[in-house]
Chains A and B, each alone.
Chain A
Amino acid sequence: MPLLSVEHLTTHLFTDSGVVRAVDGVSFSLDRGEALGIVGESGCGKSMTALSLMRLVPEPPGRIVGGRVLFQLTATGGPVDLLMLSNEQMRKVRGKRLAMIFQEPMTSLNPVFTIGDQIAEAIKLHEGGSRRQVQSRVVDMLSLVGIPTPAQRANDYPHQLSGGMRQRVMIAMALSCRPEILLADEPTTALDVTIQAQILDLLRRLQAEFGMSLVLVTHDLGVVAEVAQRVIVMYAGKIVEQGTVDQIFRQPLHPYTQGLLKAIPPLAKLPPGTRFATIPGTVPDLAHLPRGCAFADRCPKVRENCRENEVPDDPCNVGRLVRCFYASNP
């Protein structure tokens, strides 16, 4: 039984220019200890999916309008639908069982409290304990995420830390109650490439150490390839392809996945005169999606059928989710 299974999660943004279907019937599951990557370009709904799991969709304009998020809260007994929990109950899950880190470590920490305070807040809330106990937990967490001289650093304010350090603090805060699932929303995007490597290493290490499940939301296929075991590719609010890392990177079946992979410049000088591979066109307006496949306008393999009919999960019977009538190897 999976730790978390998401069924037809649907989140809409109600804006002036119409209803934006940010997350449009997304289903997937996550096993204990598994690392799942969600990739896609900006606006594909990947972050909104993560926020929906936490029930942190900014409201207004957003609202979760349907679906289920089944979380195996207790070892025995059935899973619980997080969307049906009361706010009070959901708060006890957040931070304790299901934690999240965000893209911008610069702004994700409250500037007026010390980082020690901010980590301690979560520990006190979910686990209680004396001041001293909490404090030592804070120091432990900080040293766990590789912050030198953690006892002193705990008294620092966020602005006194570098970006990489802040992201470490965010991770320490998220892991302070040993959650079963960590949602990481673009955890390295705002960081420099050398720092990014540090954080990815850290995340990998801690995931193994804590035995927790990880949902890694990113637009960087490289990051996914390094960290995740299973990958979900999203486009226009829908999952277009799902599979193991090897499947996605070595055998992409959806034309969009294929295009994405091609568009990444490899780390080697291309022969001069080589054109960069691109996916023509732009992402469709999520408030006014065309009928049929959302990728149709940009797809090199598009046919009449694509524009007419809604694409089911696995129309080609390839054994995994590939939302394309004409899924095939490139």
Chain B
Amino acid sequence: MFTYIAKRLLLMIPTILGIAVITFAVVHLAPGDPASLKAQSASEALSSDRMTREIVEGTRALYGLDKPLHVQFAVWLKRIVTLDFGTSYRDHRPVIDKIGDALPITLTLNILTILIIYIVSIPVGAYTALKPKGFVDRASAILFMALYSLPSFWVAMMLIALLCSGDYLNWFPIVGFVSDGASILPWYGWVSNVAWHLVIPIACLTYGGFAFLSRFTRASMLEVIRQDYIRTARAKGLPEWRVAVRHGLRNALIPLLTLMGTLLPALLGGSVIIEQIFSIPGMGRLGFESVLARDYPVIMAIATISAALTLVSILITDIMYAVVDPRITFGKR
């Protein structure tokens, strides 16, 4: 077990390195660099004088962008080993702080989203597998598929217009995570304030996931239901719900575990669009802004940190897999 985990951790190194190399290449080989962007963003408002190359070069030197690419990469790598992700070009804040600000928000949002998706989809998926081609099956398939097909930004726009703007209804706040000054509220008030802010964004993040997960659960359940051991369970005289839940669902959920591992990148990446529309300062927006500002250290850090966390989560799901499924042992893999 321990050797397995150690081995998997070792195997992550090349993967993370690969991600770092790809990100580094994408970021550095692209046109536009932070130095000239910074130099140019000066509006003429203050004064006007010539903008010379020296100043751009100076900024480049300041950022360490004057060295050859491989040297830059080596420097970056050396820093990473000590978990130093550098400071943002944009505001000189430590990158780790910026991510530390954004990550909890994105995680709250996405974990809630995933929870809701799972809570809704698994029962629906399991039920439709038990009654295939029934009314619920057909109806949920079409409804979920339709929801899945709605572009989230469109839905977000519509919901804002209808439920938040005050033109029609004024039920929900439009932006943010919590009201300004909510810190004076008692904790339950604060929680409900946050919840109330998150209804619409989470609704927008959630509705598309039902289709995939419920169909996945359904397929997995259908596969399990036709297994011989289900027949054995029935032959024992077990009640149908017990057959379905204890013998069926338990086995059907095993593949869903692996899915959890692969959900994490999306979770860490946040939803750029929803965060942008609802002004939620999460990872998606941080990433988007960093890309626009060519904030290399932040982009690199987002890519590597989310990769590392994803790999760890995949590892954890694999270990959980072995916990749930006794057929898998690590000694013989």
Taking CB as reference atom, which chain A residue is nearest B251? A112
Q: Is A2 an interface residue (CB 8 A)?
A: no
Instruction: Say yes or no: A122 contacts B250, CB within 8 Å.
Output: no
Within 8 A of A (CB), among B225-250: 226-229, 231-240, 247, 250
Instruction: Say yes or no: B327 contacts A87, CB within 8 Å.
Output: no
Instruction: Say yes or no: A111 contacts B326, CB within 8 Å.
Output: yes
Instruction: Say yes or no: A108 contacts B229, CB within 8 Å.
Output: yes
Contacts A87-B240, A111-B327, A112-B251 known; A94 to B229 CB distance under 8 Å?
no
How far apart are the CA atoms of A250 and B324 in the complex, in Å? 54
When distances are taken between beta carbons in the complex, the residues of chain A under 8 Å from B57 are none
Binds B, one of A99-107, A197-205, A270-278: A99-107
How far apart are the CA atoms of A316 and B211 in the complex, in Å? 62
- Count: A-B pairs, CB below 8 Å: 73
Instruction: Say yes or no: A110 contacts B326, CB within 8 Å.
Output: no
How far apart are the CA atoms of A108 and B233 in the complex, in Å? 9
Contacts A111-B325, A112-B251 known; A122 to B229 CB distance under 8 Å?
no
Instruction: Say yes or no: A125 contacts B236, CB within 8 Å.
Output: yes
When distances are taken between beta carbons in the complex, the residues of chain A under 8 Å from B324 are 112
When distances are taken between beta carbons in the complex, the residues of chain A under 8 Å from B227 are 107
Taking CB as reference atom, which chain B residue is nearest A99? B235
Instruction: Say yes or no: B235 contacts A95, CB within 8 Å.
Output: yes
Contacts A157-B326, A157-B327, A159-B326 known; A111 to B229 CB distance under 8 Å?
yes
Q: Is A292 an interface residue (CB 8 A)?
A: no
Instruction: Say yes or no: B235 contacts A56, CB within 8 Å.
Output: yes
When distances are taken between beta carbons in the complex, the residues of chain B under 8 Å from A92 are 237
Complex partner residue of B232 from A60, A96, A110, A125, CB under 8 angstroms: A110
Q: Is A224 an interface residue (CB 8 A)?
A: no
How far apart are the CA atoms of A95 and B236 in the complex, in Å? 4
Taking CB as reference atom, which chain A residue is nearest B234? A56
The interface on chain B, measured as residues whose beta carbon lies within 8 A of the other chain's beta carbons, has a size of: 23
Complex partner residue of B238 from A107, A125, A157, CB under 8 angstroms: A125
Interface mask (B177-208 → A, CB under 8 Å = 1, otherwise 0): 00000000000000000000000000000000
Instruction: Say yes or no: A107 contacts B235, CB within 8 Å.
Output: no
Within 8 A of B (CB), among A74-121: 87, 91-96, 99-100, 102, 104, 107-112, 118, 121
How far apart are the CA atoms of A96 and B238 in the complex, in Å? 11
How far apart are the CA atoms of A125 and B240 in the complex, in Å? 13
When distances are taken between beta carbons in the complex, the residues of chain A under 8 Å from B233 are 110, 121
Q: Is A170 an interface residue (CB 8 A)?
A: yes
When distances are taken between beta carbons in the complex, the residues of chain B under 8 Å from A3 are none
Complex partner residue of A108 from B231, B325, B327, CB under 8 angstroms: B231
Instruction: Say yes or no: B238 contacts A112, CB within 8 Å.
Output: no
How far apart are the CA atoms of A100 and B247 in the complex, in Å? 18
Instruction: Say yes or no: B226 contacts A58, CB within 8 Å.
Output: yes
CB distance from A190 to the nearest CB of B (A): 11
How far apart are the CA atoms of A157 and B229 in the complex, in Å? 13
Complex partner residue of A94 from B228, B237, B251, B327, CB under 8 angstroms: B237
Instruction: Say yes or no: B240 contacts A94, CB within 8 Å.
Output: no
How far apart are the CA atoms of A267 and B327 in the complex, in Å? 40
Taking CB as reference atom, which chain A residue is nearest B230? A110
Taking CB as reference atom, which chain B residue is nearest A160? B326
Q: Is A173 an interface residue (CB 8 A)?
A: yes
Taking CB as reference atom, which chain B residue is nearest A110? B229
When distances are taken between beta carbons in the complex, the residues of chain B under 8 Å from A104 are 228
CB distance from A28 to the nearest CB of B (A): 21
Contacts A107-B227, A107-B228 known; A91 to B239 CB distance under 8 Å?
yes
When distances are taken between beta carbons in the complex, the residues of chain A under 8 Å from B132 are 60
How far apart are the CA atoms of A288 and B279 in the complex, in Å? 66
Q: Is A320 an interface residue (CB 8 A)?
A: no
Taking CB as reference atom, which chain A residue is nearest B324? A112
CB distance from B40 to the nearest CB of A (A): 62
Instruction: Say yes or no: A109 contacts B229, CB within 8 Å.
Output: yes
Q: Which of B226, B229, B231, B325 has most chain A Cβ within 10 Å?
A: B229
Q: Can you identify 10 A-B contacts, CB atoms within 8 angstroms?
A: A56-B231, A102-B231, A104-B228, A108-B228, A108-B232, A110-B247, A111-B325, A112-B324, A118-B232, A125-B238
